[in-house]
Structure 1
C-alpha cells in the first residue's frame, strides 16, 4: 500500500496540482516538479516531472474544465490512470512516446505511478478548441459531447519531436548556454501544432474505434513483444504468429491503433531510448548505436536525425540548447515550480 493511499486521502483537484505549491503530501524518496504556462484564457501548457521510488496511487478530481492533449516523452517504470465506467473501474496504461486525449467535467479517477515520468499537456477549453478546429472526428466529438473520454495510442515522430521541444523550452533547470528565452508566441504556436497533430492522427481513416477489444489486446501484446529487445526486432511472421493474427491484420492494426507501421513503432522506441541514454551523457554514440542493433554509426545518425532533427553527437555534447534554440522560460512565464523529497526532478 502506498503512502498516498494509506490515510484515505481525499480526491485532489487538478487545479491544485498545477498551482499553489502542490507536492507537500509526498514523503521521502519522491521528486516532483510542475511547470505551468498560461498562454491565454482557456489555454495552458503543463509539464509534469516526477519520480516515485515506491508505487503511488493518487485519487484525482478533474475540475479543470479543459480537454487535455497529453504526451509522455519519458517513462522509466509504469504509469496508468483509471476511471469508474458504470460499475467497473477501467484502467488505461500510459506509454512512453505516446499521447492521449482526455476530458471529464468533475470526473473522479486514480493516477498510478512507479518510477520516473516526464509529460507535457496542452489544456484547452472546449470552446477555444471549437474556434481552432471544426473537423473533429465523430468518435472524439461524441466523447466530448458526453463530457468524458480517454482516447489513447496517439503516436508519430512529429508529435514526439514537438512535445520534446515544448518540454525543453519549459525546463527551468537545464542550465543551457545563455540566450533569449522562448517567447509566449512561440509556445502558443507549438501548442497549436501539438493539438493539430493529435487531431490529424484521429482523422486517419483507420480510426481506433473500429478495432475490437480482443484485437486491441492482441495488438498491445504484439507491441510489448516487439519492444522486448530494441537491439533486434522479431520477424513480422513471428510477431503475427505469437499474437494470433494474420500478417495483414497485424500490420493494419498497428496503423490503426499506434498510427505507425510495425517497424515504425520499433524504430521510434529505439530512437527514444537512444535519446535518453545520450542525454545521460555516460555512453558513446557508437556504444548506444551498437546496443540498439546498428553496426554502422552513420546509419544510426541518419535515423536519429530523421526522428529528432539533430545529430546524436551534437545532442550528447551539449547540443540540447541548439535543439530548442534558446534558454528555458523566464520567471514571469513560470506559473509554478515545486520540489519535494530529495530534490527537484
Structure 2
C-alpha cells in the first residue's frame, strides 16, 4: 500500500504497520515485531514490541477505521505520539502501566520512541462497539462523534492484569494455546475496564492548568522512591494542594487513588525486574518496601493474576521472543 503524502512528508498507513509479523527496518540497534489476531470482522488484537536504541519518529496515517483501546505493559525509555489540533501539534506522553483510547479516522500523526516498549491494543470498529451495548461516558461519546480523540491516563489493577494476560496469550507457549473464544472474552473485558475506569471519576477537564501541573509534580514525587510512599500530608504540602484536592485530583487526572498510582508503579517495576531474571523474589520485594514475601506475592497476584515466582520461572524476558499463536 502506498504511503499518504502530506506537506512533503510520507505517512505510513497503520494497516501496514499492524500487519501480523511486521518487522520494519529502522536501522542498527533496532528491533520491531507486531503480532496481530483477527477475532471477527471489526475486531483485532495487536501486540507491538519494539526496541530502538536511537530516537525514532514514525509518520503514520490512520486508515484502520478502528477505535484503539491500548495499554502499555512495559516501557524502558520514552514514547509519545502527537497529532495536529487546529494550528498546533499536540503531544501525548505514553507511560508504562497506563492505557489510552484513540480514534482518528484518516488522521495523520507522529509516533516517537527511544528504548523498549511492549503494548497491547484491542482495535474495534465503532459499529461493533455500539452492538456491545456498553455504557459510554459523554466525553468519550462526543469525542468519537467528532471522528478523532486521544484520551489517556487509564489505569487499574484489573485492567493491567487483563492486558498482561492478553499479551502473554499472544506469545508462544508450547502446549498452552488460547482459543479465539478466550481471546474474544478478554478483549471485551479489557474494553469494558477502560469504560468502567472512565465512569468512576469526574471529568479531568475541570482541572485548571496550575492544578494539573501541581498534580503531575505530586505524582513525580510519589514515584521517586517506590520503596516508601510519602504521607498524604507531606505530598499535599510539597505540591501546594490541600489533601482533599490532592486525592480528588489524582482520581480525576490519573484515574486512580494516590496509593493506587503508587502501588501500580511499584508492581510494574517488580514485574520488569523479575522478568530480567537476575534477582530473587525476596530481593525485589525488599527493595520495594515489603518485609513479608507473602504480602508481596498477594499484591503481585492481584495486579497481574500470576505469582511472582511463577513469572520468574517461566517468563524470563519474553520481550521480542519468538511469537506464535496456535
TM over 0.5: yes
**In 2: Cα distance, 1:114 partner to 1:277 partner:** 20
Structure 2 vs 1, CA of residues 153 and 259 (structure 1 numbering), >3 Å: closer, same or farther? same
For residue 11 of structure 1, give the secondary structure of its aligned residue in structure 2: strand
Which residue of structure 1 aligns with residue 124 of structure 2?
124
- Conserved? CA contact 2:20–2:34, under 8 Å: no
**In 2: Cα distance, 1:92 partner to 1:211 partner:** 17
Task: Structure 1: state its 5+ residue gaps.
Answer: 1-7, 321-326, 331-345
- Conserved? CA contact 1:168–1:328, under 8 Å: no
The Cα RMSD (Å) is 1.8
Query: TM-score w.r.t. structure 1 length?
Result: 0.86
Greater relative CO, 1 or 2 (CA 8 Å, sep 6+): 1
**In 1: Cα distance, 2:294 partner to 2:21 partner:** 46
1:15 aligns with 2:11: no
- Conserved? CA contact 1:182–1:328, under 8 Å: no
Query: TM-score w.r.t. structure 2 length?
Result: 0.91
Which residue of structure 1 aligns with residue 63 of structure 2?
63
Which residue of structure 1 aligns with residue 320 of structure 2?
none
5 Å matches for 1:241-260? 241-260=237-256
1:280 maps to which of 266, 276, 283: 276
For residue 63 of structure 1, give the secondary structure of its aligned residue in structure 2: coil
1:201-243 CA distance string (max 9 Å, x none)? 1112423233333322322222122111111222212221222
Q: Which runs of 4+ in 1 moved over 4 A?
A: none
1:190 maps to which of 186, 196, 199: 186
Which residue of structure 2 aligns with residue 109 of structure 1?
109
**In 1: Cα distance, 2:295 partner to 2:21 partner:** 46
Structure 2 vs 1, CA of residues 200 and 16 (structure 1 numbering), >3 Å: closer, same or farther? same
**In 2: Cα distance, 1:26 partner to 1:297 partner:** 42
Structure 2 vs 1, CA of residues 64 and 151 (structure 1 numbering), >3 Å: closer, same or farther? same
Shift of 1:21: 5.9
1:30-83 CA distance string (max 9 Å, x none)? 010100001111111000000010111111111111100000000001111111
Which residue of structure 2 aligns with residue 51 of structure 1?
51
- Conserved? CA contact 2:48–2:120, under 8 Å: yes
Which residue of structure 1 aligns with residue 141 of structure 2?
141
- Conserved? CA contact 1:169–1:328, under 8 Å: no
For residue 317 of structure 1, give the secondary structure of its aligned residue in structure 2: helix
